[in-house]
A and B are shown apart, each in its own frame.
Chain A
Amino acid sequence: DIQLTQSPSFLSASVGDRVTITCRASQGISRYLAWYQQKPGKAPKLLIYAASTLQSGVPSRFSGSGSGTEVTLTISSLQPEDFATYYCQQLNDYPPTFGQGTKVAIK
């Protein structure tokens, strides 16, 4: 299985901050990478697919970049509703796998 490692696992930030989360893969995943946001007690919500394509309805402050073995999720200006846990997911190869998550908390 392809292992995905997110860094950091936890970060604290303030409203308005620029936040970057990195997802590193144990082998190349091309651009078959998606990002999700999950709030407590809720299902994950798709933010970005194909590494950099914004899902319909997702604010433009979210962006994704990268390919190969390293991809990043950037939130350009953190909003109160963005405090959550973020996961990356690959489907370059089966089985699909997820990163361990990055919790974004209020500083």
Chain B
Amino acid sequence: QVQLQESGPGLVKPSETLSLTCTVSGDSITSYYWSWIRQSPGKGLEWIGYIYHSGSTNYNPSLKTRLTISADTSKNHFSLRLTSVTAADTAVYFCARLTGVNAFDIWGQGTMVTVSS
């Protein structure tokens, strides 16, 4: 079955860059849209953005100036890069598959990222 697995550092210093990768198994990222979503106690669930295999992206306007999402079809994974992080970026980060019915049907287990010096 389709599985998603997030990976990356659990601790990032303020003002530095948060980088995460989502590895997809059981499906090709050349299908569907692939998203990042985060969850924090203060802001609940927040959609970060998505990428399509063609390279087209769509970002949450609230994060757009700091955000890059990219994909590597040869490795079947996609990545998140968020610059100039602050404590407000502390959250559990999930990757998820976005289907044509506008819902997120497959999620990774999530990875906790803390922004702290």
Please list the residues of chain A having a beta carbon within 8 angstroms of any beta carbon in chain B: 32, 34, 36, 42-46, 49-50, 53, 55, 87, 89, 91-92, 94-101
Given A96-B47, A98-B44, CB of A43 within 8 Å of CB of B103: no
B45 A87 Cβ-Cβ under 8 A: yes
B interface list, Cβ under 8 A from A: 44-47, 58, 60-62, 94, 96, 99, 101-105, 107-110
B109 touches A46 (CB 8 A): no
- B residues near A44, Cβ cutoff 8 Å: 45, 94, 104, 107
**Residues of A contacting B104 in the complex (Cβ-Cβ under 8 angstroms):** 34, 36, 44, 46, 89
Contacts of B101 in A (CB 8 A): 49-50, 53
From known contacts A46-B104, A49-B103, infer whether A97 and B47 are also in contact, taking CB-CB under 8 Å: yes
Residue of B nearest to A36 (CB): B104
In the bound complex, do residue A34 and residue B102 qualify as a contact, i.e. CB atoms below 8 Å apart? yes
Interface on chain A toward B: helix, strand, loop, or mixed SS?
loop
Q: Which residues of A contact B94 (CB under 8 A)?
A: 43-44
- How many pairs, one residue from A and one from B, have CB atoms within 8 Å of each other in the complex? 55
List 8 extra interface pairs beyond A43-B110, A91-B103, A95-B61, CB under 8 A. A34-B103, A36-B104, A43-B107, A44-B107, A50-B101, A95-B62, A99-B44, A100-B44
Instruction: Give B35's nearest chain A residue, CB to CB.
Output: A96
Cβ of A95: which chain B residues have Cβ within 8 Å of it? 47, 60-62
Nearest A residue (CB) for B94? A43
CB distance from A44 to the nearest CB of B (A): 6
Among all A-B residue pairs, the 8 with the closest Cβ atoms: A91-B102, A43-B107, A49-B103, A34-B103, A98-B45, A96-B47, A95-B60, A49-B101
